[in-house]
Structure 1
Amino acid sequence: MPLLARSVQTPLHIDVRRGAVADLGRILADGRISAGGDVAVVVGPGIGEQIVDLLRPSLQSASVYVTTGGTLDAALELADKLRSGHFDAVVGIGGGKTVDTAKYAASRWGLPMVSVATSLANDGIASPVASLINDGIKGSYGVHIPFGVIVDLDFVENGPERVNRAGIGDVISNISALADWELGRQVRGEPVDGLAASLSRMGAEAVLSMPGDMSDDAFVTVLAEALISSGLAMAVCGSSRPSSGGCHEIMHAIDSLYPDTASHGELAGLGALFCTFLRGDQRRFEQMADCLARHQLPRTPGDVGLTAEQFVRAVEFAPRTRPDRYTILEHLAMSPDETQQRLDAYELAVAAR
């Protein structure tokens, strides 16, 4: 009987703990990524000097590059700088903007990339996607999955709590994304990758029911691992489908129409709760609403400074952000008046929680 298998790209090394940044040299050597520490270290402004001071004892041969991050231009500029050096790997240390910039620049020249997260804002820390702004519009660019993913809980603890809490919204939005994927299978015959779905769902379910908050190492570790698992789910199936549905369509629409309204994770959580309400899944709606409230994350348009009219416009625009994707928004194809009626009912349901 023949045995069929598939190869799955995953990081060589995953480490979630305190003190990981100071121990980076040993981690790179043990993971067979760079025995001598000949790496390009990419940091963002502000926290960069503190990180470099910690790294020097274990990575004396490293070259340090500071990037403002977050844009395609910054990533291309970094790529040009990397071209002139000879590096075993690129190490991106910081938040999502810095890590995504490093991911794109490293992929440009086929260099291994190690993601060292100092915040837990979204699942980009381990995904094969770099979110970068180009000409004022945020786009998603395919890159190689990081060879290593490291989360230093010391830096997470000292970072902005609101930034880290946003990762909770991004993780639990997977539940809505998976429901949209299943809807695509039922209506359009779209294939669902069971392994990718399992990886996405496990992390989301863990965070949804996990007690504790961002002051609790056990909770933060579960959140970090859930974000990593979400990134791996995307790598397994070769798309963002297991982690992005109507929830992210709404998020991208708000980003396009009303820039700087709120963070990726905050908007993803809000979009997921609204989409879950649209599906009529009362049990899931209550679970997600309670989780978002417990972690002080936005649940209504007003919580992120949007009027009802602005949110209705964003929902109407949302399907255009992912034209090939079938979600509850495409399925219902609501008119603006219908969306307003659903939003009114949604806000009453949220208030009742």
Structure 2
Amino acid sequence: MPVLTRLVPSPVFVEIRSGALDALAGILADQRLSAAGRIAVAISNGSGARLRARLEPALPSADWYEVTDGSLDSAVLLAEQMRAGHYDAMVALGGGKIIDVGKYAAARVGLPLVAVATNLAHDGICSPVSILDNDAGRGSYGVPSPIGIVVDLDVIRQAPPRFVAAGIGDVVSNLSACADWELSHSVTGEPVDGLAVAMARSAGENLLRHPGSLTDRDLLTTLAEALVLSGIAMNIAGSTRPSSGACHEISHALDVLFPKRSAQHGEQVGLGAAFASFLRGERELTGLIVDRLRFHGLPVTADQIGFTEEEFTKAVHYAPNTRPGRFTILEHLDLSPSDIRDSYADYVQAVNS
């Protein structure tokens, strides 16, 4: 008998609303994760530390761990520190770096993780991947997805607007990533998971067409939901394929080649998505992406994030090395540095005309 249905890996609960942070203890109890409040809480020395005083009275049995950075070493250290305690669950409270560190540490000690996001800079709040700095630059590590997601819209509205805008760039890049996946299917025969594409593309379209500004509560809700959908799409696919194509290869190349100068992840992948769409000849999609990036103050050319044309050309040429075995428009065209330089010049002329 054929399989008539399949299970979709997803968080057990998703709370996106105003006041969600103050209800955290009740949420953990209601979801039967930790009625007694025996949890480990990982925080940054920024937004997480500022919220600790607000949360401590409601979580008297919690142990708090301050994480200094988003490195593999910090994630391993956090896991070792938590082994001395006896916890029902772990909470990662902060931005993308803290959540990525928390996902990796929770996996090492076998704890369910609840991601409590203080900004919406990228889709790591729900993805099965931790992006951590290591001795070689930056690496991607497969981990279980968070069992729960908590997003307090009042907290998000206090985050720097640049972080919210970066999240929009990350989600909109799904459209380019899905196009790259479908290109690979037509050229190499790589299987495409239609459900994963539907979720990732819907998330991207929702942000591409949303008229709201960065201070619009409805836009923030849409963005938070889109980031969750992107994470679920990756869970369904079993890889980052529905949200990571040439756009992310270019971003990873910038991180590797210019580690001290890389911009926000969402800023880089948004630019990468626009350029990759241009390379695929999708002029309408390129225009829509560029318009949406500009509307939210995101970069659409390399110089707007501090890279010269030569540096961007070098990154695009190096980009396929960051994801061996992944087929995108970059692998398909196999452009020389001079070809990339010419294509980028044409792209800049097109977006500025």
Q: TM-score, normalised by structure 1?
A: 0.98
Q: CA deviation at 1:136?
A: 4.6
What letter matches 1:63 in structure 2? D
Q: Distance in 2 between matches of 1:65 and 1:146?
A: 18
- Residue in 1 that maps onto 2:200: 200
Structure 1 partner of 2:316: 315
Distance 1:156 1:3 in 2: 41
- Match of 2:58, SS? coil
Instruction: Decide whether the 8 Å contact of 1:40 with 1:91 is kept in 2.
Output: yes
Once the two structures are superposed, the pairs formed by residues 279-298 of structure 1 within 5 Å of their partners are 279-298=280-299
Q: Which residue of 1 aligns with 2:265?
A: 264
Closer, same or farther: CA 161–81 of 1 in aligned 2, 3 Å: same
Equivalent residue, structure 2, for 1:178: 178
Note the 1:1-353 alignment, pairs <5 A.
3-259=3-259, 260-352=261-353
User: What is the CA–CA distance in structure 2 between the aligned matches of 1:79 and 1:13, rounded to whole Å?
Assistant: 24
- Find runs of 4+ consecutive structure 1 residues off by over 3 angstroms: none
Q: What is the Cα deviation at residue 331 of structure 1?
A: 0.4
Task: Please identify, of 122-131 and 30-39, the stretch whose mean Cα deviation from structure 2 is larger.
Answer: 30-39
C-alpha distance in structure 1 between counterparts of 2:2 and 2:339, whole Å: 53
**Which segment drifts farther, 33-42 or 315-324?**
33-42
**In structure 1, what is the Cα distance between the partners aligned to 2:228 and 2:217?**
16
SS at match of 1:22: coil
Structure 2 distance, partners of 1:251, 1:3, is: 38
Please list every run of 5 or more consecutive structure 2 residues that lacks an aligned counterpart in the other structure.
none
Query: Equivalent residue of 2:57, what SS?
Result: coil
Mapped contact 2:47–2:118 kept (Cα < 8 A):
no
Partner amino acid for 1:42? A
User: Any idea what SS the aligned residue of 1:155 has?
Assistant: helix
**Separation in structure 2 between the aligned mates of residue 35 and residue 238 of structure 1, nearest angstrom:** 32
Which amino acid in the other structure matches residue 119 of structure 1? Answer: N
Deviation at 1:233, TM superposition (A): 0.6
Residues in 1 aligned to 2:69 and 2:99: alpha-carbon distance in whole angstroms: 8
Q: What SS class does the counterpart of residue 138 from structure 2 fall into? A: strand
- SS at 2:275 equivalent: helix
Residue-by-residue CA offset, 1:25-83 (whole Å, 9 max, x unaligned): 01111122111111001110033343122212321111111111300000000000111
Structure 1 residue identity aligned to 2:301? T
User: Offset at 1:2?
Assistant: 5.2
Distance 2:293 2:134 in 1: 31
What code does the residue aligned with 2:302 have? P
Shift of 1:281: 0.8
Question: More deviation in 44-53 or 339-348?
Answer: 44-53
1:342 is aligned with what amino acid? S
Query: 1:126 touches 1:232 (CA, 8 Å); kept in 2?
Result: yes
Give deviations 1:12-36, integer Å, cap 9, x for gaps.
1101112211110011111221111
Q: Give the C-alpha shift of residue 223 in structure 1.
A: 0.6
Q: Which moved further from structure 2: 293-302 or 46-55?
A: 46-55
The one-character-per-residue Cα deviations of 1:269-324 (angstroms, maximum 9, x if unpaired) are: 00000000001111111111110110110000111111111111001000000011
User: Superposition RMSD on alpha carbons, in Å?
Assistant: 1.1
Are 1:21 and 1:51, in contact at CA under 8 Å, matched by a contact in 2?
no
Instruction: Name the CA distance, whole Å, in 1 between partners of 2:103 and 2:86.
Output: 17
Q: Deviations over 1:228-264 (max 9, x none)?
A: 1101111111100000000000000001111232110
SS at 1:140 equivalent: strand
Structure 1 gap ranges (5+) = none
Is the CA contact 1:79–1:108 (under 8 Å) kept in the aligned structure 2?
A: yes
Which amino acid in structure 1 is aligned with residue 70 of structure 2? Answer: G
TM normalised by structure 2 equals 0.98
Quick one: distance in 2 between partners of 1:49 and 1:207? 30
Whole-angstrom CA distance in 2 between matches of 1:305 and 1:224: 28
Q: Name the stretch that deviates more: 146-155 or 321-330.
A: 146-155
